Amino acid sequence: MARRVLIIGGVAAGPKVAARLRRLDPEAEITMVERGKYISYAGCGMPFYLDGQVREFEELFRTAYRVPRDERYFAGERNIRVLTRTEAIAIDRGKKRVLVRNLQTGVEEHLPYDQLVLCTGAEAVVPPFEGLDLKGVYRLKDPGDAQKIMAGIDDINEAVVVGAGFIGIEVAGAFANRKILVSVVELYDQVMPNVFDADMARLFQRRLEGQGIEFYLQEKVLRFEGDENGRVTRVITDKREIDADAVVVAVGVRPNVKLARDAGLAIGETGAIAVNEYMQTSDPNIYAAGDCVETVHRLTGQKTYVPLASTANRQARVVADNIAGREARFKGILGTSVLQATIWNAGRTGLTEKQARELGFEVVTVINPGHDRSHYHPDDRTIIIKLVVDQVTGVLLGVQALGAGEVAKRIDVAATALNLRATVDDLVETDLGYCPPFNSTIDPLQHAANVLRNKLDGLVRMMSVDELKEKLDTDDDFIILDVRDELEFRDQRIEDPRVWHIPITELRSRLPEIPRDKQILAICDFGTRSYEAARMLEAAGCKDVRSVEGGMRVWPFGPVGML
């Protein structure tokens, strides 16, 4: 008798389980139940549909060979039964069946299973704001929400996004690309909380501000107000009123575990469904995958909850393999994620500096700008990379990156290094490809690693831009030596009488002008010339010389700059 596999959830993990299992077991009876109207859609593509990069709504549902992924596709090509607009009500583990209800007809029935797979996903967190029911107030949970926003997009002049996480930032970027004035309100004191360290978040924020996005951090939304027609007109926070023709609430998601909890399945410490490495729940006949489950962080061994489509698809393959009798394990995640907003790309993998310190690691970090390809190539763009390394062992702990250039490639290389428990030396010694359109002769990730090695080896003493700002505010007895050329210095500089400008090309001949009894803080554009200047000054007898880490490219306290 063919095995009966019932899958609850038809967005990301569910369809992947079904498709993989069908290839492994041509005889299995596979049924997929989805509460919503849409199945197997590209949820991560919705912000890019809003800004016009994805031109047709249907593209979110098509295969790479342009066939719609609908019920007929799954039935005809995959021999998989799909029930949309059907809600799973309860699991009867003793009789191995699930009670479902057709949401259009109200008819209920029991669906039997030999193996059950829960892919119930996550549900949007929607705080009880007054005015949520006003016209023009949206969420972005499924394609239907995207369609509602697009239906009125031409009438939006001012938009407010509540939440500065992944979805919030991408939606803000979509509005900005359409020349809509957009404001982002965030309860935390930085954008991308729990994703980036504060220093990288600030740099990302500054770049987005350069594209016209306004941010209001550490502000609490109190309510939405509307006009006599019931349409939203403003957002009221605890600090201000913000005019708005449209509001998108994107404050995060939580795992959808009601069905599992009601069935007596174990819920993990993160609040998501607990599973083992085979993706089995506490009932060995019930598997779970995707945004409803918790997993293990590969660096710490701790349970974590990071809902990502990439993770859901990888977990789904493991589920299908195990159901088909091919033993497979899901070993955990690094939290690797990337995003694009306006012209800026950003990403991270592993631990942030804050997370690493909270876990007890003794860390050393570096922030370093670099060219994403040969500087003379017309498509050259700059990216900023932050490395987090265990100072005791030299093992890489995490990487964050942002810029207009190719960020994802560096994050993926870093994720590979983290997966292999590589040290910073291993990263430097990795044989990466080079060709001017694709890379610089030393990849910017490896260049950052070299800077960190110089720091560890004591070849250069560094000062962060935050430390420099504090010093400017509290100390007088030092010199900032700007060694950039005249054009760079005129274009953007620190306006302060303690700044001396001597281009690196003139520094050697002008060494007698430099006082040996003062602290010298060398700064340039990227940090390379300031390192050279620091070595030159130390050789000339200056006793206290520092190179400002990352240079003016990471100086966040002046006018909004460009990478």
Nearest to 551 by CA among 477, 475, 451, 458: 451
Pairing of strands 4-8, 29-33: parallel
Tell me whether residue 44 is one of the annotated catalytic residues: yes
Instruction: State which amino acid sits at residue 553.
Output: R
Give me the residues paired with residue 77 across strands.
none
Q: How is residue 391 annotated by DSSP? A: T
DSSP 260-298: HHHTT--B-TTSSBP--TTSB-SSTTEEE-STTB-EEBT
DSSP 68: B
Active-site option among 44, 119, 524, 542: 44
Question: Cα separation of 64 and 96, whole Å?
Answer: 36
Nearest partner of 340 among 211, 217, 445, 183, judged by Cα: 211
Kindly list the distances between the CA atom of residue 561 and the CA atoms of 460, 510, 552, 557, in Å, as whole numbers in the listed order: 27, 30, 9, 10
Coil, helix or strand at residue 50: helix
Alpha helices, H only, 220-374: 258-262, 309-323, 353-358
What are the Cα distances from residue 165, in Å, to 187, 193, 195, 238, 552?
11, 7, 8, 20, 27
For 279, how many CA atoms within 13 A lie in the half-sphere containing its CB?
Answer: 33
Query: Measured between alpha carbons, how far is 71 from 180 in angstroms, rounded to an integer?
Result: 37
**Residues catalogued as catalytic:** 44
